[in-house]
Structure 1
Amino acid sequence: MIKKILKSKKSTEKKELPSRITNDTVAQHREKVLAGGRKHKYPLQYTKHKLVWNTIFISVAGLILVSTLVWLQLYVWKDTSDLAYRITRVLPLPIAKIDGQSVPYSNYLLYHRSSIAALKVQGQDEIAADKAAFLRQQAMDRALEVAYANKIANERDIKVNDNQVDDFLKKQRESTSLTESSWESAVRDHLGWSLSEQRQAVRSALTVSAVAFSVDEPASNSAKQVRDYINKKKSLAEIAKSMKDKVQLVPDITVPKKNTDSIAAIAAKLKPGQISPSTKTLAGDGYYFISLKSTNDNTLTYSYLKVPLTVFKQQLIQVKESDKVAYYVDVKQ
């Protein structure tokens, strides 16, 4: 009896699901399928979770590595290569700060590239260490000047529009008689710039000039005084004698008629003895009054009286000397 009971119990434990699915056995088959699925569900979730964390970790590590390399390249090694320039064109990284205004690293490299390109055109492929340091400092000074001018321009709502840039570039190109492709090649070879980079540099130069004239009220008053003297038929020499150190007289300059200098171009349009209205130069260094003395088939002789601008440069010097400039790179070394 006992053997029969044990045998019956074992046969019950080893009982398998019916091979055929019927209405009576469908619940048992469904449970078997679900049980098999549960065995694979949780390991898959764990793998997916781990994959997400691995991806995040690799991305963060890669970002840190790239950031470190960029920092080393620009702020430790002080790289001025094409690669460094392209990086700074994409990433708005600063090289300094002047009176609270950030100085873009790309602007510094833009002006530095221009100086290097000009030397290469002259055949100077190898640059001495002291001259290289001078060129870097020169580029830094220019970048600081532009940044400080932009700060004042924003405060005074001074804007340079596209038409002003286009007009300047048009006059520049027409003075050379180059084709568009030749002009682009000349800009690239002599300045190391693309045409878009040249536009950027011209816009910055026009902004600096506009700011320099805007902030210099003493020079503006002196220019009005010169105009009053001219209306009284005074010569440039007489005006210079009366106004003394407020003006600078440069007499009797003789140049070829083909000279493309802006002052010479104005003089060429005058009659002998005639004095031009005040002219503002791109250099932003003053008001010019030009008088034609004589002309012939090949040359012209003229004089000019300059009312120099001083306020913007003085302000820039004061800002530099008052510890309002923070340098992130020592370009002297």
Structure 2
Amino acid sequence: MKKPRIKRRKKEAPEAPARITNETVAEHREKILAGGRRFKYPHQYARHRLVINAILISLATLVILVVVAWWQLYPMQNTSTFFYRLTRILPVPVASVDGTSVRYSDYLVSLSGSKHYLEQTEGLNLDSADGKRQIEYIKRQALDSAIADTYAAKIAREKNITVSDSEVEAAIDASRDTVSGRISREVYDDSAYSTFGYEADEYRDILQRALLRQKVAYAVDGTARDAKTTAEGYIRQAKKPTLSALATQLKKAGFVVQAGSSGSVPLTNHDGGLTQAARQLTKGKVSGFLSSTTGDGYYLVQLTSKTETQLSYDFLKIPLTEFDRGLQQLASKRAIREYISVSKTTSEIIYNK
């Protein structure tokens, strides 16, 4: 029996590498690069996914932060310094008046000043029952004030009414006269900080808004101007005008006026400029009309007595009513929207009690 022959396969000789010449160098380079791409593309794909994931995580974090900030500002009404600083950077609204947003920071700066005054100056425990009642009151007061300031700024833009830096400085300068004498600007700024917790720039902003609101209140009140013109006519006709007789005549003409007496006050009393005007008079003399720096109306003052340190005067006031009436009308038309829950029962400006 013949044994089967086992054919052995001859090993193929390895292919000799092609010789690289000037003609084949481009082809050889392409082969090498093609082999490297197998390692490049997987890493490129992973980096692309990493970028997408980073963007998604960032967006998710931003959404969470926005939700947390919304929850703290609106349902929780967080009034901390952090959120006050945040709202100064981000103009988020606390309300709107006649289509104009009321900045949350304007509400918080007013509220924080009132809280600081109650705690540091009055020594009130804000966690007590009385303290909580006071908090509700100053919340309403701060929100009303912020809404009124925004409404005034809207009218000011329409009527081209402005307050210059020099007017703000003049108002500060007038406030530096005290019973003890004239104080320095540094002492004045320190007083604002210790009393209300306001930095100098914050207090300037608050004062600027207050002055603008006063200017607007005078500009929009035609009724008060008519009463003032009528009173000036009566004064020219009277030989010895008295404020009580003038008040009677104005009331008969259908105007709203108020008359009263200051009582004895220091010569440096801060009452909207009335004491300063009375200081310039002789006894029994009636001043010309004054636009009170408190922004509540036109005044006439008549000096009744004066010593080296004190004086007293009678006054007649023509109150400004149109600005507040405009706010009340907007509220009745539901043109004022509030985005936080604050009791309306303590409102003195916007909502009728």
2:107 and 2:143 in contact (8 A); partners too: yes
- Distance in 1 between residues matched to 2:267 and 2:294, nearest whole Å: 22
2:245 aligns with one of 228, 238, 241: 238
**3-state SS, counterpart of residue 249 of structure 1:** strand
Counterpart-to-counterpart distance in 2, 1:314 and 1:159: 22
What is the correspondence of 1:150-169 to structure 2 with a 5 Å cutoff?
150-169=153-172
1:325 to 316, 336, 343: 336
In structure 2, the CA distance between the partners of 1:27 and 1:107, relative to structure 1 (3 Å rule), is: closer
Alignment partner of 1:196 is 2:196: no
**Separation of aligned partners in 2, 1:25 and 1:69:** 66
| C-alpha RMSD over aligned residues | 2.4
State the Cα deviation string for residues 65-95 of structure 1 (Å, max 9, x = none): 1101110110111101111111111110001
List alignment gaps of at least 5 residues for structure 1.
Answer: none
Amino acid at match of 2:125: D
- For 1:45 and 1:88, the matched residues in 2 are separated by 42
Q: Which residue of 1 aligns with 2:3?
A: none
| Residue in structure 2 matched with residue 264 of structure 1 by the alignment | 275
Contact 1:247–1:308 (CA under 8 A) maintained in structure 2: yes
Q: Secondary structure at the match of 1:7?
A: coil
Which residue of structure 1 aligns with residue 99 of structure 2?
Answer: 100
| Superposed counterparts of 1:1-333, under 5 Å | 7=10, 10-11=12-13, 14-15=14-15, 17=17, 26=25, 29-120=28-119, 121-127=121-127, 128-175=131-178, 177-232=182-237, 233=239, 234-244=241-251, 246-251=256-261, 253-261=263-271, 262-332=273-343
8 Å contact kept, 1:98–1:324: yes
Deviations 1:131-188 (A, max 9, x none): 2111111111111111111222222222222221121112113446333332222111
Per the alignment, do residues 16 and 168 of structure 1 end up closer, same or farther by CA in structure 2, a change over 3 Å counting? farther
Distance 1:41 1:252 in 2: 89
> How many angstroms apart in 2 are the aligned matches of 1:21 and 1:64?
60
The one-character-per-residue Cα deviations of 1:99-156 (angstroms, maximum 9, x if unpaired) are 1121111111011011101102221133432221111111111111111112222222
In the alignment, the residues of structure 2 paired with residue 252 and residue 106 of structure 1 have an alpha-carbon distance, to the nearest angstrom, of 37
How far the C-alpha of 1:27 sits from its partner, in A, is 5.5
- 2:289 aligned partner, one-letter code: S
CA distance in 2, matches of 1:257, 1:24: 107
Report the identity percentage: 36
Asked if the contact 1:267–1:290 (Cα under 8 Å) also holds between the matched residues in 2, the reply is: yes
What is the rounded CA distance, in whole Å, between the counterparts of 1:38 and 1:252 in structure 2? 93
Could you tell me how far apart the structure 1 residues matched to 2:193 and 2:16 are?
Answer: 85
TM-score by length of 2: 0.85
**Matching residue's letter, 2:89:** V
Distance 1:331 1:180, change over 3 A: same
Distance 1:319 1:199 in 2: 29
TM norm structure 1: 0.90
The amino acid of 2:141's aligned partner reads: Q
Structure 2 alignment gaps of length 5 or more: 1-6, 345-353
What displacement does 1:236 show? 1.5
Structure 2 Cα separation of the partners of residues 174 and 305 of structure 1:
25
- Report the CA distance between 1:25 and its aligned residue: 7.2
Helix, strand or coil for the counterpart of 1:76? coil
Secondary structure (helix, strand or coil) at the match of 2:152 reads: helix
Q: Deviations over 1:214-236 (max 9, x none)?
A: 11111101111222222233222
Q: Which moved more, 1:149-158 or 1:205-214?
A: 149-158
Query: 1:159 is matched by which residue type in structure 2?
Result: T
